[in-house]
Structure 1
Amino acid sequence: MSLLTIKQLYITDSHTNQPLVSDINFQIKKGETLGIIGESGSGKTITCRAITGLNDSRLKVEGHIYFDGIDLLKVSEQSLREQRGGEIAMIMQQGSRAFDPSTKVRKQMFETMRAHTKLSLKEIEAVLLKYMDFMNLKQPKKIMQSYPFMLSGGMLQRLMIVLALALKPKLIIADEPTTALDTITQYEVLEAFRNIKKEFDCAMIFISHDLAVINQVADSVLVMKAGQCIETGLKETVLYQPEHTYTKYLISTKQKINQHFKKTMRGELHA
């Protein structure tokens, strides 16, 4: 049985009546990772934000979003908030946006845990320290006593992952979680997601425009263009035997960039 099923999802800008997403259908099973790829503006983010009810109020969402048997488009805002914090966790593109710069990290993480769990303060600290160790964060107590502006983007990104894991969600939605990071930190964060796949049984949606990233973390892939799903299937099929012209274009473009980079590093290109 699928954990998440999206049926005939349509998203329209109610101010202009412009369709932004049209007839999106997919499903994810427990423990599965779906990679969603496409250019900026293809509808990846607003599709996933519709799952958690985080889109702007002007965006009209129609269709069905079944999560654990419940249609999230038919529940109350209060019920959706409870699902969003506990059962569904979102990891955004920039960790700095997830934390209030004027408040220490510890207080913010503790407040989130208290809002969505019945754990005591001592239990919350133990759980957070456990997952900070899992994420290879050194001096965790010092980190928690820091203000967000004192920490790097990669550190804040990993703290978002720590908080998501501590809440034990059934679904993690990661929206371009490596885009704003340097190459070394990108590798570390991707390693974290690979470890999550090995150690935890939650489902994941991983949004990215980077085919190499999707190739490393996804089991299945959905390709979006101009608000529509143009191709979907197992990773091995979509990325290595694509059928749609646009998917072939994305893959060939990535290959050309890689070849150009390799030639540059070998000194074969001259100004």
Structure 2
Amino acid sequence: MSKRLILILLTFFSLTNNISSQENKKYRFLKIEDYKKKYPNRNISFEKGKYQIFNNDTLILDNDPRYSHSKSIDYEFKDSLFLDVYKDLVYKKHHLRKNEKKKYMKLWKQPIKIYFDASLDSFYMNKIKEKSLKLSNNIDSLNISFVDSKEKANYLIYQLDRKNSNKLSKEITNNNYINYYNKWYKNKIYNTQLEINLTKYENVSKEIHLNYIYQFFYRSLGNFSVSRLLPCESMFSSCLRNNKKLLENDFELLKYHYSYGICKFTDLETFEKNHKKAREELKNGRTMKFLHFK
């Protein structure tokens, strides 16, 4: 699927069964319980052509005009171990404090445009470019490019050291090494600032700095937490190490985060309910799809 196609999909999702006649049409049939949730105050018509019986389910005609600009994506099955780690990274399922606010899935919908400030060492810039392009080329809905001015950018990376004290982010405070700040609206990330403060660590090797930069860069792409469920060499593990790698499973977690085989921008409860419902449909021999509106 092309990057453009996925990037224009919005956050309104309707859980539907795979009825082949529904594909590429301007209307759909919804289960009666889903129809009532979508239209709680609308009367249901049982006139001929406005409902169907399918696999013992009553389906009601829904002629939402947005269907003409929608796309159905097959549910992407993942095993329980994979999902347990994913939920820990996205929702802090296993280490959310009692006084913390409920977490929501956050990701980029629009293309990421990175600007490297002149303060950034070219070694770090080139390495970040290399990793960014690899992600962009291998994850359909994660589109990363580079721009030549701060005004054109939505992702800023800059460096502080003894020669440069020009702090470009007002939001990042009390940062003694490396940190980022994400801005989002309705859980869609639209701006990120990554600050690399080397003032206290100028005698540390560039390779060690780079490893920590990678760790925060990857986490910024989904406002991810870290997890104790991952091996210490993982980029997303909670271990404090300076030689982490983007393991194959780390890449799959990132790829899944930007996959549209499940509803996006939800809280943990909704995420788990959608998976439960989708698996029940698969168990009953049906193909599950998630409908994404433009």
Q: What TM-score, normalized to structure 2? A: 0.26
TM-score (norm 1): 0.27
Whose Rg is larger?
A: 2
The structure with more helix, counted as a fraction of residues: 1
